[in-house]
Chains A and B, each alone.
Chain A
Amino acid sequence: MRIVDSARPKGLSSLAQYRALLLKDLRQEIRTREMLTSMAVYALLVLTIYGAALSQVGDKIQVVSFAGGLLWALIIFTSLLGLNRSFSHETESGCLEGILLAPVDRAIIFLAKATSNLIFLVAVEVLVLPLFFLFFLSGADLAGTTFYIALPLLIGTVGVAGVGTLLSTMTIDTRGRDVLLAILFIPVAFPLVYACVSATTVAFMGVEGTFGTFWTSCAVAAAYDVIMIAAAWGLYEFAVDS
């Protein structure tokens, strides 16, 4: 007896698998709030330390001149905390193997996890950024530059989520993965962080005539996103299967 069958099971589509993986992550996070709570609390603690550090500065130094760097330090360290936890549910009882057993393109797993990480990072930024502006930039006139502040934040967060997802997958089964992720992530993401700090600082300063630097930095960051996310997409099968 011979059975003639289609190569792909009935009703199987990459989009449906992507949606299932993403919804599962969102549902779990809504129930446990594990990642969002830890990232938000950590970000608030960093803001408190910034407050203590800057309380002695007085009027001699303009905080706005280095606020871009402070903001990105806050985002990167908060993201690292979240990325370290992004596979905690999968590794707890072997669920990642359960996913890998299924006929799912490994790139779809990457895309779904990167999307959920992006959503969680943006959610924390939405919560924390108003506080950052309230505490450290309340005197600055930023009304006209909202778009210029938001653009590098968005480009940078996309890159952090993409590269971070690949690297956190690579460190899943390693000892001391918290430290290892930071050691791998910061050098790899340095060009992105540098470009985003540059663009954000220009946006904060709002100096006429420096917006050429802004656009150049945004273009560098966007190019980094495209190249690194394409590389992560391609490398993910190797990362997750090994």
Chain B
Amino acid sequence: MLVRDAVGPAVEAHGLVKQFGDRRALDGVDLALPRGSFLSIFGPNGAGKTTLLRQLALLARPTRGELHILGVDALEEPDVLRSRIGLISHKSMLYGDLTAHENLEFFASLYGEPDQARIDELLRLVELDHRRNDPVRTYSRGMQQRLSIARALVNDPDLVLLDEPYSGLDPHAAELFDRLIGRVREDGCNRTFIMVSHDLAKGYALCSHALILARGQVVVCAEKQGIDAAAFKDLYLATVGMGVA
């Protein structure tokens, strides 16, 4: 039996380092994020944003450092945590030749006995119930991205990671996606969200906490309260433009 701490930070990282050969993609990242918060991670290309997200998604192990997610040591017990994390990426992670229902049923079966009622509920949530039996390759990019939200929620995760989710979406699809994320945030499950984004305005509008990463180091990590979007943009440009990146 595992005892989970439900009140501690959602994510706590100390001195996280990820090395690829001679290159250090993450260089001593420290992070503490309360539960139920929405963290947006910003930074120039090559800053280490996606590398950080991959460590949090347990798709890669850090070279050094400590990482606790939802009160569990992520390096010691990754399998326990995997059932509590969902990832929405710019890649849909969906099989084009399978239908929406088959995709959700398949991914749900990797987390336990598939719950048909939950699959139906998720298809309704992302407004794709009417296309449930169509192959995913016949969907538009926006529809695939909506279905990928449902895929990421099949295991009812406590931590939802978003990696450039707006990439390739037209404005209408992006708006629909925003609305969906808003509904998921307000579903009373107190989920924690961490999003990597290049879109400063959108990312900052959604978040409760913001982090600027440059050259694998945390330059700024702060609660949004009290900092308006224009001031944050100035801060971003000042830090990234000061040769940090």
Residues on A close to B: CB < 8 A?
1-12, 16-17, 20-21, 24, 27-28, 31-32, 89, 92-95, 97-105, 241
Contacts and interface: CB of A to CB of B under 8 A. Distances in A.
B96 to A, nearest CB: 7
Contacts of A2: 3-6
Interface string B107-137: 1011111000000000000000000000000
Given A5-B4, A12-B83, A101-B82, 10 more contacts: A4-B1, A4-B3, A9-B112, A20-B110, A24-B106, A93-B92, A94-B93, A101-B87, A102-B107, A103-B111
Contact of A89 (B2, B58, B97): B97
Contact of A101 (B7, B58, B92, B112): B58
Interface residues of B, number: 40
B93 A98 contact: yes
B30 interface: no
Given A3-B4, A27-B102, A94-B91, A9 B155 contact: yes
Contacts of A11: 112-113
B189 interface: no
Contacts of A5: 1-2, 4
A95 B87 CA distance: 12
Given A2-B6, A28-B98, A93-B94, A102 B89 contact: no
A97 B151 contact: no
Contacts, number: 109
27 contacts: A2-B5, A3-B3, A5-B1, A5-B4, A6-B1, A7-B79, A7-B80, A9-B155, A10-B112, A10-B113, A11-B113, A12-B112, A16-B109, A20-B106, A24-B95, A24-B106, A93-B93, A93-B94, A94-B91, A95-B93, A97-B87, A97-B93, A100-B59, A101-B87, A103-B110, A241-B59, A241-B60
Contacts of A95: 93-95
Nearest to A12: B112
Interface string B44-84: 00000000000001111100000000000000010110110
A125 to B, nearest CB: 25
Interface in B129-161: 144, 151, 155
A94 B107 CA distance: 13
A12 B111 contact: yes
Contacts of B93: 93-95, 97-98
Given A32-B97, A93-B93, A97-B91, A9 B1 contact: no
